Structure 1
Amino acid sequence: MLASLIITNTRTADFVANDTVRQNSSLLYQGKTNLANYFQSFFQTSLAPYSDTTLYRTLETGRSDYLVDNQIFVSLQLMSSSVKEIYQVYLHSGRAERGYLFSRGQYKRTDQIVTAPGTTLPADISYTIKPLHMSSSYGINSTPLILSRPVITLIRPVYQIPSSKQMGTLALDITTEVIDSICAQLYSAGGGEEVFLLAHDGTIIYGPGQYGKGLKLKEPWAEPILKLASAGESGNVELKDSHSKSVFIYESLEAGDHDWVLVKRIPPSVLHGATRQITQANTWVLLGSLLLVTLTALFVSFWITRPIKQLTGYVNQIQSGRLETDIHLRQSDEIGQLARRFRMMMETINNLVLREYRLELANKTNQLKALQAQVHPHFLYNALQSIGTTALQRGVPDLYKLIMQLGKMMRYSMNTAEEFVSISQEIDHTRSYLELQRHRFGDKLTYEIAGDPDAQQASVPRMIIQPVVENIFKHAFDPAGGMVHVSISTTLKDNWITIEIADNGPGMNEGKLASVRQRISRDGEIGDESGSHIGLANVAARLRLHSGGRARMELESGAAPLGGLMVALVIPAAD
């Protein structure tokens, strides 16, 4: 964990340093933008000779009289008032060979053959900004004298348009209050940071208090920064100053024929100060985390072991034979989920045990009834065979067929060795029953059997179709004068077998239908629902037992196309 803290602190130091440089680069760029916007106002003022038609014509004609002096006074006064920080405005008319100076309400003029010293520019330079210096009277020394102040000077030659003939020179002396204010907002003076605005030759236009404005900066890092910024680019670099290595961020600022440079020095104490604070915070967080982890480990250990011990106690009770043990844990975590799954498993086991018990009890009951009904079965078969043969010899083939159908039904009913049979066997048994009934009722009974070939060999419990058909003759058929039609169909779809037994009888009203549905849905003991034959509830209960509760019996009254009662047995094909 200590190694992790060291690595984290190292990465954090790099990140914080880079972030500090990035933020300060953005801040310095904003300062450069503010200075450029501020200088733009002076540039616009310096173009006044071109926008002031009267002044331009005066310079172009070279007139010099009392009226011209008044016109130039008005123009210089407007220039001076356009920007608050303009200290004085100097204009030289080359053709009139006169100089004009306006400073804080004072207006002076004098004859000057050439422009004042220091205001002459090369022919290819449209304007320049002189670094910080003390203002002068531009050779116009008439009283009253004008106080000298530190200023920067924007010098622009005035040309005759469209030619390149110079008509005069304009100079604006600008105090540095706004420049100082903009630069002062770019750093924290008490934090060790420094901001400089330097001319191309290293002259200090703005700098901290210990550096003299207007003097050359003698720091060892000044020359490399000026060289880097000479291409008009911006960036940051780490250089050694008088104390240690610092990061310098610089921005170039256009100032006529030479660019100025806005520089910010960030000492190591500022660059890594935030890192030290983060390191201290990380240390406290680490200590707090260790304490929290220790307490959490103790709590989790108790929280986990207690329910495990409870679950172990439940398992021991079940192991001793108490399968009905109620496993109950109030946990909502993984242990609680495990306990709930275990309880569900025990409920499933108990249900399976109960199901097997019920099946075994039903089988014993059916076997008992079959044994009671099997009174010398071979004697009965032989007797029926003898009766059938006699009927055939006496010329009564129909009687022979009936006796054979009855024997076939008895053999199927008394065969208790097979618990499951195919659907085709169930259909054959039901067909024999219907043939016997048709001999009894004649034309009053008609039936149809349709079977899906894919479903014929599916395995189902014995005696599930014939009891439902027998129920039709008991409840839906009036032998005195009615007619009955029985329809049996089997389908296989989506791994489910559906056996539908329908009639054209009167069906059931809603109350009786609900009562029967409730009776067949009870998951109780298998009993004799109708006395002498296996009823609907018996069939439904056996289907549920043999399919694990997935099979079901559905009843619908008035179902098309017959309009009577329709009984559907829905059985999983896998079973």
Structure 2
Amino acid sequence: MKFRSIRFRLSAFMLAAVAIPLLLSMTITFLLTKQSLREQTTAENERLIFQGAANLEHYLQSVNQASIAVYNDPHFLSNLARSPNDYRAAAEIYTTLQTIRNTVPGITSVYMHSYAANQSTLITSSAPKRGQRGQSFTESIVYRSNRLFIEASHPAHLYGFSSPGPAYGKDTQVFTLHRSIQNIPSTRKLAALAIDVSLDTVRSICRELYQEGSEQLYLLDSSGSVVYSSDENLIGQRLDHPGLTGRLDDRQEQGYFEADQAMHVYRKLNAELSGWTLVKQIPYDTLYARATRLTQINAGITGVALFIAIIGTLLISIRITEPIKQLLRYMEKIQAGQLDVDIRVASRDEIGVVFRRFRQMMDTVNNLILREYRLELANKTNQLKALQAQINPHFLYNTLQSIGTLALQHEVPRIYSLLTALSKIMRYSMRNSTAVQLKDEAEHVRLYLDLQKERFGEQFDVVCEWEAGVLQEKVPKMILQPMVENVFKHGMDARLGRILLRISGTRPSSGMLHLVVENSGLSIPQERLVHLRHMLSSSEETLPEENTGSDEPIGLRNVLLRTRLHAGGAGRLDITNIEPHGVRVILEIQIEERERL
């Protein structure tokens, strides 16, 4: 009984009504916010990484352009082969290398080794260094057969020279651009050029691309070594992160992927220049921080709402159930035979209304008992009136029959046939049935047309075409005559000659019946036709109570309405003009196999 009580059900319903929508809303909001943040963050970071990559490429290109300045000096290549004692040649080489160092901010040193003179030169912020070398110092670091490559971040080299001085920071992290100087267009190497570039410029560009402490950024070369990282301890080391480096090998030039509970947005720099890849790692905690915060807020609101719902439900249930229990006690007294129970009403809400109505009901119980006899008399009177209403049509039929018999006695058979047709039409229209066989409708229309023949004479001809078995189908009563009488209301015109009226019934598919009425009379004006078709296509299922003289298609709308009632909502009626003149009315009726005879 406890679980079936109104209080328990109301409490359970209120809790479910509050909790389920809130939890569902919270879940959907979290998922949509999460998806929106993911798309928004991805798009923003793709643009950010694209701009950062463009800035890095521009900076590397400026360093590269500085390195090819040796080809702009017409005497530089010839000076490389001159004797080391040629101080003029040495001075010009110093000048060119110093120009390279000063061209781009961030270049810390320029090293060059001449193969012809076996001479190495180092330009730093201090005095230049020069010495005899059997081979280039850079070849002991890394070997490349191509003319240009960039060595990943590493501590600054002295290239075999003693320290240039305290101003030279040999512990500074730099990356090095290596270029082979050739006697173009030949491929013979004249010298090896190495330009050390400080990471300060790269660092300033990269720091604009991530939030320190919550996001990570990696600038990797083609071998996976870290050129720059948000974690300074990783600079110059090979990144031990297979989930990241492994995916970058198979990826396109730019894009994003998810791995290790983080979103990774990347873009590869010019492969011919550096082959570096800029990767930004955004942990899920950072990516979905706002979604998580919003979910926490919604969870707090849900908890408060549930608490309020519980308290409110208890108060409301007590407010409802206690008066109901009191009403049950009153009813038990009444059931025991005490009809004059003093029912007291205290509240003004719906429960109070129930109490007052119950008291009024008890006040009228005795009156209802007394009125029962009067109602029985009234019912018998109504039955007599109904019988009288049945007598009147019979009197009219008998009168028509008497007139017809008198017409035969006076040898006027045409009057008799017309009266007989009118009598049958009236009997058919007053039949107490809503569905008839199509053959009954066809016979009713035939009698109707016989009466119209008397009015219009030979102004029209009638052709009926019925497909085999169609006349046995059940259809709503009185649907064919309104379709036929259209020509007599609006289509008759002596100027058109004899009008042909064609009535046909077909069954184009299983479960469908088509009734078509065509006439060669006057066509319907286009504006009127559009109005009629609009009225028939309306979804309203009610008709005006009476024809007020307007042009509303009352008869045809009545046909369509009764057809839909007969077929459970299905049915269609269409009106069109035919060439050169005339009107076609098509009624589609849905029938069932079980209705066939």
Taking structure 2 as the reference length, the TM-score comes to 0.44
Taking structure 1 as the reference length, the TM-score comes to 0.45
The structure, 1 or 2, with the larger RCO (C-alpha pairs under 8 Å, 6+ apart) is: 2
